[in-house]
Structure 1
């Protein structure tokens, strides 16, 4: 299933995939800049918040399903298809005459969530082993670069042309990226035909993940005891159990649950869950503390615009360090690289606690260690753990499953950090809630604990014997008649 290219040709593939990843994360992050303007137009912040939730729901499902399809029908087709649907969503959002229309367009944009796992699989197919892990680190950096460009471009577009212009911009970039993806190498022949794909397994997977993710994201709004929350979580978990049972019995499962028997893949999923629920929730804490007035007893008093510029600059720092995580994975192994990144993040979070009453420069320095340098190195290491633990023909599928775990864990982490912050809030002038030092410290301790837990989880993966990731090892279950050699 592999077809390694020359260094020059493979470099062009890396650029094309990086641009696609940037589009994905630009679409994810640009909405945050537009939220204040949308609050003014549509009123209720809880309703407007669905523009974030709908994207996350669809992106989680698209990551899993798109990853599997990328292994079967080829990255080029899946990437172009995902970008085409995302462009359609951008156009619908730009032309929206009602909130439901805008919400529909935003949900369609979530199909871009398929890009990253498919891109990882394509890299493994065409990049030489000597360059692979560094290339994966660079591609992971697209998350930071996309965020930086999303903040910058959305801010300028909204200031001069209004919030609808951000969707016009994303549509143009999506079309350009799709055209570039058409230049990707043609996929090698797959032993699995499209009609043999387990679409029932893919269909059961989607509502199960969506129900769980929706229940988690609405915990704060609806309350933990709300019957809607309980119903969504119970229904999602039950359907997930049905799905797992079905996939384990299927000869050519849409998602091979048996991949979780591979220690390195299992460790990568547990590790990224801890990492996503912890360090990736850092922005929810940092934004209020740097903007809160020092007169309240805690805070640095930066304006929203100044903080926005700083966030953009720091995102570029994250992008610069992502290849470092890939390079370390290449030199010393993905597990050791992840441990180093998690350690740096832990030091940074502890430093943030120490400097809560120091200068804003010192606080932001430690924030850079935690949320940019350490985060970038760790983020780039997890897909490389997948590369070390699964056959190449399952790379997109495995990284797609890993991204689903990441989405659900991050949603839960964001909710928990928000609850910890709100738990220590007091009434300020005019009745507005003001966060206290105790609430910030509680949230920071939570982040420290999860960041530390990443280390032993990944260490256990490093201690396991090297796994057989050959294509022969991928074929572990009987194959239906007429479908020769399909890996399970």
Structure 2
């Protein structure tokens, strides 16, 4: 039996990495597919665009509330059973959204779909448990890059399915198929392991954190419709900050917090979170600004290409998404050779170039496709690097929660980008029209370049300890079947846990 267990550890099943990549692709598709069809949903359900906007808001609120708790449950009760349970709940939500004609039931379905945000951190933790050291860096890079590229594919699929105002239910039926396939791949591809975690969930900490995040997200996502200076927006923002302060005090006073405060204040972890925040901003600026820009009628605005949703997706977004997949595939080798920090720095520099080109040159189709593709390279390299940086700073027991916190930070970044961009587009319009001025898009692309610059500067602030560098080098060069390499890796992780 010990021999068999060791063999399983060294040679994970062939379906493990492809299956987890498909799970993460499903998550990315669920995140972005609804974005372009909010107006269509409102029209077909006979509700206002503001009411239909809760299809996004409900999903995000469920994500920020559930992700850290699910991450902790996975650490305690095993990744595979928790992963399957989350996928089953997401499948039920997708089915509900696909069959209902009621906005409240659609929102309920989107709440269940919001649990899918926890799939990414659990998948990363599974790779750390199952992959031999020599394959771990590359596997995590591919998995993380899939998240960035999958968002683009989600927008493309939406364009194909809802061309010419087709029924939006098609989108949710496709998510049903995606989630069902993901369940099958996890069931057969992820090995069952005995429960090894000990302890319990800090439910009071979870309740306080959920309350704080809900209030802050309401202020962020509803500020445009309520008014940024309105009483509800201000109360939500102030209340969220107050509850977050209470949560911080509480977590510092208990022995087993849901999220150890050191995960948020430890220098390298803090810098990694800052980088994640601005990578999320850059990713969504690219997706949304590019999609809206190319659909603008040139005869009215003097810019844009008058593309429909299908053309915007297939012609302008699909090439960038494909380039992102290639970059994700290559990122593992780059990280093994140069390390995650240099790759993140290099990716940030590439993103700056892409956004500046977008801001200055966007008069022809090829210029837009090229700029979007360059930015997608940045997103894939950044998403591949960040989990490897995070892994170097936390022990295996904290992997699920640490990646869950990082996922929330990324969600905050995408929400900030969405809220700010949509507000700018609705506020600064050409006289007597609802068409945004070209300067708004130029400013958005420059903000994307600034986000890349901040992510790059954050990477410079990350100092990977010498113990970690030697551990990763030994794991990559000696191989996964070396007990000496594994011993060095364990020792390095203990040093890092104590250092944190």
State the TM-score, normalized to the length of structure 1.
0.89
Range with bigger deviation, 71-80 or 270-279: 270-279
Indicate how the Cα distance of structure 1 residues 463 and 20 shifts in structure 2: closer, same or farther if over 3 A, else same.
closer
Root-mean-square deviation (CA, aligned residues, Å) is 2.5
The equivalent of 1:175 in structure 2 is 180
1:435 maps to 436
Which deviations, in whole Å up to 9, do the C-alpha atoms of 1:10-66 show, x marking residues without a partner?
A: 542112211211221222222235434313222311111111111112122232222
2:70 corresponds in structure 1 to: 66
Label 1:162 to 1:426 Cα distance change in 2 as closer, same or farther (>3 A): closer
- Is the contact made by 1:5 and 1:127 (CA closer than 8 Å) also made in structure 2? no
**Aligned partners of 2:73 and 2:82 also within 8 Å:** yes
Superposed counterparts of 1:200-349, under 5 Å: 200-295=204-299, 296-310=301-315, 311-349=317-355
Which whole-Å deviations, capped at 9, do the CAs of 1:166-195 have from their partners, x for residues lacking one?
3233223323322332332223442414xx
- State the partner residue of 2:458: 457
1:101 paired to 2:105: yes
Q: Which portions of structure 1, spanning 4 or more consecutive aligned residues, are displaced by more than 6 angstroms?
A: none
Structure 1 unmatched ranges of 5 or more: 477-487
Which segment drifts farther, 359-368 or 121-130? 359-368
SS of the aligned residue for 1:338 comes to: helix
CA distance in 2, matches of 1:62, 1:317: 32
Structure-2 residue corresponding to 1:150: 154
How much does 1:463 deviate?
A: 6.8
CA contact (8 A) 2:163 2:310 kept: no
Q: Is the 8 A contact 2:271 2:458 kept in 1?
A: yes
- In structure 1, C-alpha distance between the alignment counterparts of 2:37 and 2:103, rounded to whole Å: 14
Deviation of the 1:349 alpha carbon? 0.8
2:62 is equivalent to residue 39 of structure 1: no
TM-score between both structures, scaled by the size of structure 2: 0.87
Deviations 1:234-256 (A, max 9, x none): 11111111111111111111111
How far the C-alpha of 1:225 sits from its partner, in A, is: 0.6
Structure 2 spans left out of the alignment, 5+ residues? 469-490
Select between 155-164 and 243-252 the one with higher mean Cα deviation: 155-164
Q: Any idea what the Cα deviations from partners look like across 1:337-368, whole Å, max 9, x if unmatched? A: 11111100000111112213x32212321221
Determine the C-alpha separation between the residues in 2 that align with 1:288 and 1:451: 21
- Please point out which of 467, 470, 485 is paired with 2:493: 470
Alignment of 1:378 onto 2:382: yes
* Contact 1:94–1:165 (8 Å) recurs in 2: yes
Could you say if the C-alpha distance between residues 44 and 274 of structure 1 is closer, same or farther in structure 2, counting changes exceeding 3 Å? same
State the secondary structure of the residue aligned to 1:433: coil
Q: 2:33 aligns with which of 12, 26, 30?
A: 30
Measure how far apart 1:274 and its partner are: 2.1
Q: Is the contact between residue 319 and residue 376 of structure 1 (CA under 8 Å) also seen in structure 2? A: yes
Report the counterpart of residue 363 of structure 1 in structure 2.
Answer: 368
**1:279 deviation in Å?**
4.0
- Identify the residue that residue 171 of structure 2 maps to in structure 1: 166
Contact 2:358 2:372 in 1 (8 A): yes
Q: In the comparison of the two structures, how many residue pairs are matched?
A: 469
State the shift of 1:282 in Å: 2.2
Hey, what does 1:138 align to over in structure 2? 142
State the Cα distance separating 1:312 from its structure 2 match: 2.9
Structure 2 CA distance for aligned equivalents of residues 421 and 153 of structure 1: 24
Structure 1 residues 422, 37: CA separation in 2 closer, same or farther (over 3 Å shift)?
A: closer
